[in-house]
Amino acid sequence: MTDTQPDTAPDAGPDTRDEERAEERRHLERREKWIRRLPLLPALLFTIVITQVPFVFSLFYSLTDWKIIPPTPRTFIGFDNFTDLVDNQFFRDAAWVSVVMTASAVLLSLILGTGIALLLDRKFFGQGFVRTLLITPFLVMPVVAGLVWKNQVFSSQYGVINWLLNLVGIDNVEFVTRYPLWSIVIVLVWEWTPFMMLIILAGLQGQPTDVLEAARVDGATNRAIFFQITLPHLKPYLELGTLLGSIYLIQVFDQIEVITGGGPDSSNIPFFVFQRSIGGGWDFGAASAMSIVVVIASIVLANLGLRVLSGLLEGEDPA
């Protein structure tokens, strides 16, 4: 005879029960996350609709040959619009102007904003009034700022700069005509320096005071404190200013239209897109391809600026 044992299912071990409980906890955590995110879904969907849907249409139009005047059928041509940009001398000039204009305005406004923030990071009479006064340029509408600088500052007949030059015996200078690109850069720096100042000032006021006091007690000079403590602390704020400034300033349009009207050496890619589309060119296929390039250039330029700034800050002065 052979012994037979009852066919009974083994009890679940402690490891199996622990895994089941862990899986149940993960399920509950995922459910709670979705419950918290649910009220934000309408805003997320709205953002996707107003940002990504137009981008998808632009991407589609960039692959077509589509002109409004004279009316032509929309024809799919693939990447021909993008390859044509390489041989387009006007587009290459506009791309170079975009790079120089954005990099110069961001760098200069960041340097000036940091300097002003260092001056404001102390107690003095009228501190609040001075800060408010310095923020004012950033609150001025771009069109108004362009008109004021063109007619009241750069003008050869009524401009403040030429009036000062005449006092020292220097003839009038047509700034907008002779230096169109740098005239726009100066206006952009005037507008964006307060923005950079606010970011850097927020970073300065967030410094640990006990660390600064300990450094002064140890005999550290102001220069050493700035390069070894303050500047590393400001690194994320400088990166933020570079990132936001690059994204916004590469899309400048109003100041160019008001100051130079898109003349030689002052037309960037957004203005060139305007000229090729609703500005008279009516070539929406090529204009869409250029707008895609602007988006890519914004990402590349912002990342390049962050890498350069990070490299400079990593090699801070050890003195």
Tens-digit pLDDT profile for residues 169-192: 888 888 898 999 999 999 999 999
Check if the beta carbon of residue 263 is closer than 8 Å to that of residue 180. Answer: yes
pLDDT of residue 149: 93
pLDDT at 317: 42
Q: Would you state the pLDDT for residue 306? A: 67
pTM above 0.95?
no
So what's the pLDDT on residue 79? Answer: 87
Amino acid 90: pLDDT: 85
Residue 193, pLDDT score: 95
With a cut of 50, which residues of the chain have pLDDT below it? 1, 9, 315-319
pLDDT digits (tens, 9 = 90+) for 7-20: 554 555 566 777 77
If you classify domain 75-314 with CATH, what class do you get?
Answer: mainly alpha
Residue-level pLDDT at 299: 76
pLDDT of residue 105: 94
